[in-house]
């Protein structure tokens, strides 16, 4: 069989369709549009079905904890009358140690239901461990494909730790160098094995996170008698935020503000061999957050079910040093040792709480497990070994890839806003360029307004700039 790179790329649509069991073309219409809600409804599960599926493998029903000591600290730093109560949804309590167990439970269950003998996932993050864990529980084979090393064979400790965890669950792990070989090997394996593509971006995976948002709403309402004012979601590929927001909506928490938070890695390119090891976070950063917000369909399925611009109300950035600082603070002030990447949203929430009134509430919607390679000591040592300077100071001066600045005082932790309108504009531009169109239908206009929550006026302004005609 011809398995050359060009051959695999030319057959990618057929391979993906066969390995996911979805014909995405039935949802498409117009020149750029597709029926998102129909895709979610017809290929996903009801909320009750998902809760039952996840409950069978011990996923979900994670505790909602109030961070009283961090709230007290935030109030000491905030103006009088400010300092919202901070809560955290402890997703590290899931079997594999992160919220991604919810995505994996749905995907692996569906694979077994359809008769697949195994599952494959391309991921360097917690999702690999989640898929491996669920596959072990349901008796399926599992292969995890990681982008792990640079061209010198140097691998990040966090990624290597996750490979160890995947292997502990019985998965076969393929560790690759950064670059286009990841998707090629992924397609080749799907083609050769006939395993299920347990993608992060299918409706099964995203719908699995809806239980998190719904559960959060129910727990908070039972505890406080009302809905949270703000929920902060660590944002990478958009599935975490999308699923959580959809679950909150299903729980009728429609007035809760959805805030996305990413680590600022401006200037580093995630597909660059030289930049790959200059970062100290494998996920939850702008290297994923910005590209996937402005073009969700860059994923390993034709239409990603992760559409963050549909749901996000505010998007903020924090720096690496701030997240490491908050990871230590969570351990030493609250007695909870959790992985740094999952504390991205905590760093943002600590800052945002100081803008809010004392009678308001803010929830960090996930934590992740920590381990030897994920520990801040290992990550900071790796950064230093790669020529990155680590010191105390003001993190606003941090330059990604050059230094990591740990705050010398907690007042220096500041969440910085991203202009969401610019992201919306970039998304519209990508829709036009990726589909190579010069005119657009009224159906497409309606789709774009929904898909990035843009006003009709701003949409037409952007279309005029791009010289796109309406038909």
For tokens 């990624």, what's the residue? 159
* Residue 239 predicted with pLDDT over 70: yes
Q: Which CATH number fits domain 5-53+98-202: 3.40.50.10330, 3.30.70.260, 3.30.300.30, 3.40.50.1100?
A: 3.40.50.1100
Q: How many degrees, rounded to 5, is the angle at CA 86 between CA 85 and CA 91?
A: 150
- Mean pLDDT, rounded, for 398-412: 97
Q: What are the contacts of 409-414 at 24+ separation with CB within 8 A?
A: 410/73, 410/77, 410/325, 410/329, 410/350, 411/77, 412/322, 413/318, 413/322, 413/325, 413/326, 413/347, 413/350, 413/351, 414/318, 414/322, 414/351
- Mean pLDDT, rounded, for 234-244: 96
Rounded distance, CA 267 to CA 317, Å?
14
- Can you name the residues that pair with 448 across neighbouring β-strands? none
Q: Give me the pLDDT at residue 42, please.
A: 81
**Nearest one of 242, 236, 259 to 206, comparing CA atoms:** 242
Distances (CA, A) of 421 to 293, 427, 454: 12, 10, 8
- Mean pLDDT, rounded, for 316-332: 97
pLDDT, one tens digit per residue, over 163-192 is: 999 999 999 999 998 888 888 999 999 999
Q: Give me the pLDDT at residue 299, please.
A: 87
* Residue 372 predicted with pLDDT over 90: no
Structure tokens at 120: 């494959």
Q: Which CATH number fits domain 57-96+204-417: 3.30.70.20, 3.40.1110.10, 3.40.50.1100, 3.20.20.70?
A: 3.40.50.1100
More confident residue, 43 or 287: 287
Name the pTM for this structure.
0.96
**Nearest one of 419, 433, 434, 428 to 449, comparing CA atoms:** 428
Plot region of 81 (φ>0 → left; ψ -120 to 50 → alpha; else → beta): left
* Residue 410 predicted with pLDDT over 70: yes
Give the pLDDT band (50/70/90) at residue 273: confident
């Amino acid at each position: 069989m011809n398995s050359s790179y060009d051959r695999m790329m030319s057959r990618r649509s057929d391979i993906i369709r066969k390995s996911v069991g979805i014909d995405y073309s039935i949802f498409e219409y117009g020149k750029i549009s597709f029926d998102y809600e129909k895709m979610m409804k017809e290929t996903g599960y009801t909320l009750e079905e998902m809760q039952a599926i996840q409950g069978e493998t011990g996923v979900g029903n994670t505790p909602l904890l109030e961070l009283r000591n961090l709230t007290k600290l935030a109030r000491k730093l905030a103006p009088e009358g400010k300092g919202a109560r901070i809560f955290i949804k402890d997703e590290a309590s899931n079997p594999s140690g992160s919220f991604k167990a919810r995505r994996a439970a749905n995907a692996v269950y569906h694979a077994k239901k359809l008769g697949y003998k195994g599952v494959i996932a391309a991921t360097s993050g917690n999702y690999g461990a989640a898929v491996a864990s669920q596959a072990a529980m349901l008796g399926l084979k599992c292969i995890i494909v990681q982008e792990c090393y640079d061209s010198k064979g140097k691998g990040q400790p966090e990624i290597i730790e996750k490979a160890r965890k995947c292997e502990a669950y019985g998965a076969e792990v393929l560790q690759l160098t950064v670059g286009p070989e990841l998707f090629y090997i992924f397609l080749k394996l799907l083609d050769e094995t006939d395993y299920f593509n347990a993608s992060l971006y299918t409706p099964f995976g995203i719908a699995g996170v809806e239980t998190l948002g719904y559960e959060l709403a129910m727990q908070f309402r039972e505890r406080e008698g009302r809905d949270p004012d703000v929920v902060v979601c660590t944002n990478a590929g958009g599935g975490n935020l999308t699923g959580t927001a959809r679950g909150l909506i299903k729980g009728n928490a429609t007035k809760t503000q959805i805030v996305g938070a990413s680590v600022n890695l401006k200037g580093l390119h995630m597909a660059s061999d030289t930049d790959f090891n200059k970062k100290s976070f494998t996920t939850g950063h702008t290297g994923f957050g910005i590209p996937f917000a402005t073009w969700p369909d860059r994923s390993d399925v034709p239409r990603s079910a992760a559409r963050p611009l549909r749901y996000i109300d505010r998007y903020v950035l924090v720096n690496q040093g701030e997240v490491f600082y908050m990871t230590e603070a969570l351990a030493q002030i609250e007695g909870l040792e959790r992985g740094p990447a999952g504390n991205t949203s905590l760093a943002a929430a600590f800052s945002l709480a100081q803008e809010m009134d004392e009678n308001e509430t803010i929830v960090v919607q996930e934590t992740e497990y920590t381990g030897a390679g994920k520990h801040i000591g290992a990550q900071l040592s790796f950064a230093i070994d790669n020529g990155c300077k680590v010191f105390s100071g003001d993190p606003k001066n941090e330059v990604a890839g050059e230094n990591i600045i740990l705050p010398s005082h907690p007042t220096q932790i500041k969440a910085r806003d991203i202009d969401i309108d610019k992201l919306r504009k970039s998304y519209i531009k990508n829709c036009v360029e990726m589909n190579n169109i010069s005119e657009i239908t009224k159906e497409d206009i309606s789709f774009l307004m929904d898909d990035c929550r843009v006003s009709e006026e701003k949409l037409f302004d952007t279309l005029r700039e791009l010289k796109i005609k309406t038909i």
